[in-house]
Structure 1
Amino acid sequence: MTDITAATYVPNLSSSAFSQFKGKTTKIGSDGANADSQTFTVSKSGEFNFKINDTFTNVEIRNDRNEVVTTIRSKESAADASARLGPGTYTATFSQANRTAGVRDYSMDVTERQNVLVTGGGATLKGTAQPPGNGDTGVQKHTFNVVQGGTFTADISLANTRWAMMDKDGKVVAASDSGKTDAEQNFLQKPTYKLEPGQYSMVVVPPSSLKSPTDFRLSFVPRNPDLSDSGLNQESAIQKTLRERQDRLRQWASEAKPTTTSTKA
């Protein structure tokens, strides 16, 4: 995690899974509102989530050609936006929507928005959950591209974490709200999700009790839809042969007549 408390150096967003910009709106922007600017770089192309944690705060991000690549405008709560950025230098300008508010603190979280490729063998999303605070719910957004459809179960390593996957029309196609990690549940008792080829978006909401940044893993595991919980009691051919052999041995032992040995003096 990178905590940027002052613009004493230029951070590289590509080198950290999570970055945070902090500062004060001690300058005056072009519209007359209190403002501040910070510069960062990107060394490899990627998609990033930008989340302003303060109310009534505007953020404008420009590239080195002074083109606006994304804007964020928070009102009564935190707000976020995503942008795909190529290698280069960028400037984030923070300004207050309320011009009479005076100098205020601000903080903005930046996380990499992963684009996960789902094949017939499944897929895994790796991320770092951030503790909620300052109006920030800790929600993460990611993109899933399903190239081979199928039936899957989900396995998330962080307990009390909610997640939902939506198709391009915003319809929820998979979701979980479990108090346990998926790994603690019986595989054959987990719900299955049928995913057709296409692009999906996912939101991940970490538990409100989270106290520090925590790595997590969310996997989609291929599942044979014909399997059921009764399959747990089904025997393989080898298991059946061994069991029948053991039964025959027990039966033979129970039917065998006891033998006695006498000793003549």
Structure 2
Amino acid sequence: MADLTVSVPNLSSSAFSQLKGTTTRVGADGANADYRSFTVSKAGEYNFKVNDTFTNVEIRNDRNEVVTILKSQAEATDASARLGPGTYTATISQANRAAGARDYSLDISEKQNILVTGAGAMLKGTAQPPGNGDTGVQKHTFNVVQGGTFTANLTLPDTRWAMMDKDGKVVASSDSLKPDEQENFLQKPTYKLEPGQYSMVLVPPSKLKTPTDFQMSFVPRDPSLSETGTSQESAISKTLRERQARLQQWASEAKTTKTSA
């Protein structure tokens, strides 16, 4: 059912892909629809995000088995699926049959499961400009195998992020007004992470105009270090600690608001 005039992307060759088109065809249920194909050459887990309201997406493998379904209502929605090598077909259809043909965009990104050891960890991603009901929010999974105290380096300015444990408790958060890597190492807030699985929500800046690559790293830090070289809390450390408490309160309140990546 794929349109042979449209290129077929290989998800394994890029961290981010976007399928765009118009629902000018007819789906099995009679709704306006479109069909798009993509391939996977290496098994992995992917995030699918439909950026349009009242739009349904059904993705099937080459055995015609459904691997994931998305149904957006008044806002963008997302789902994740683990895909093996093969060819897949996405059926994009309109929930509102009276709307006529509409443009759509379906974002597909690699879902990174980051492994955190005593040496830290690195997340690489691409921030997408918000628009068409899409907030640009990203979700990632961190698996901490060796706990410790870490600082965070984020190269994307004006970005908010929060990390939650499996019970939904916020354990780390920040809203960088400038890239974290430009701050003095001893002035950065520290985050204590115990072994376990964590989820991260990352909110790119609303003024972002083009897709932008970024890196986020967790760097091990001796919690006893300060600007004076002692374990006594300095004035700047006290200010940062209080700032961190406010950020954690924001993240705790914000995580209950449903936005989709």
User: Distance in 1 between the 2:94 and 2:223 partners?
Assistant: 53
Q: Alignment partner of 2:99: what SS?
A: coil
Aligned position for 2:17: 19
Q: Alignment partner of 1:133: what SS?
A: coil
Task: Give the 4+ runs in structure 1 shifted more than 4 A.
Answer: none
* Aligned pair partner of 1:152 in 134, 150, 153: 150
* Aligned pair partner of 1:164 in 162, 165, 168: 162
* Aligned-residue offset at 1:184: 2.1
Residue type of the alignment partner of 1:216: F
User: Distance in 2 between the 1:98 and 1:231 partners?
Assistant: 64
Which range is displaced more, 17-26 or 183-192? 183-192
Residue type of the alignment partner of 2:40: V
* Aligned-residue offset at 1:6: 7.7
Native 8 Å contact 1:6 1:23 kept in 2: no
Q: TM-score, normalised by structure 2?
A: 0.84
Native 8 Å contact 1:7 1:38 kept in 2: no
User: Distance in 2 between the 1:8 and 1:162 partners?
Assistant: 36
Aligned position for 2:248: none
After superposition, give the CA deviation of every residue in 1:178-201 in whole Å (9 maximum; x if it has no partner): 212111222222111111111111
Native 8 Å contact 1:157 1:217 kept in 2: yes
2:131 is equivalent to residue 130 of structure 1:
no
Segments of structure 1 that go 5 or more residues without pairing to the other structure are 233-265
Native 8 Å contact 1:159 1:179 kept in 2: yes
* Aligned pair partner of 2:73 in 65, 72, 75: 75
After superposition, give the CA deviation of every residue in 1:37-68 in whole Å (9 maximum; x if it has no partner): 11111000111111111100010111111111
2:35 is equivalent to residue 37 of structure 1:
yes
Aligned position for 2:105: 107
Q: Alignment partner of 1:230: what SS?
A: coil
Native 8 Å contact 1:7 1:39 kept in 2: no
Aligned position for 2:96: 98
Q: Alignment partner of 1:231: what SS?
A: coil
Q: Alignment partner of 1:72: what SS?
A: strand
More RCO (CA 8 Å, sep 6+): 2
Aligned position for 1:187: 185
* Aligned-residue offset at 1:7: 5.0
User: Distance in 2 between the 1:98 and 1:165 partners?
Assistant: 36
Aligned position for 1:8: 6
Structure 1 segment 47-62 matched on structure 2, within 5 A: 47-62=45-60
After superposition, give the CA deviation of every residue in 1:84-135 in whole Å (9 maximum; x if it has no partner): 1111111100111111111111111111111111100001101111111111
Segments of structure 2 that go 5 or more residues without pairing to the other structure are 231-261
2:208 is equivalent to residue 206 of structure 1:
no
Q: TM-score, normalised by structure 1?
A: 0.83
Q: Alignment partner of 1:229: what SS?
A: coil
* Aligned-residue offset at 1:170: 1.8
* Aligned pair partner of 1:116 in 114, 117, 122: 114
User: Distance in 1 between the 2:4 and 2:137 partners?
Assistant: 25
User: Distance in 2 between the 1:110 and 1:95 partners?
Assistant: 17
* Aligned pair partner of 1:222 in 202, 220, 227: 220
Give identity over the alignment, percent: 76
* Aligned-residue offset at 1:159: 0.7
User: Distance in 2 between the 1:142 and 1:63 partners?
Assistant: 24
Residue type of the alignment partner of 1:65: R
2:92 is equivalent to residue 65 of structure 1:
no
Native 8 Å contact 1:146 1:195 kept in 2: yes
* Aligned-residue offset at 1:9: 3.0
* Aligned-residue offset at 1:231: 1.6
RMSD: 1.9
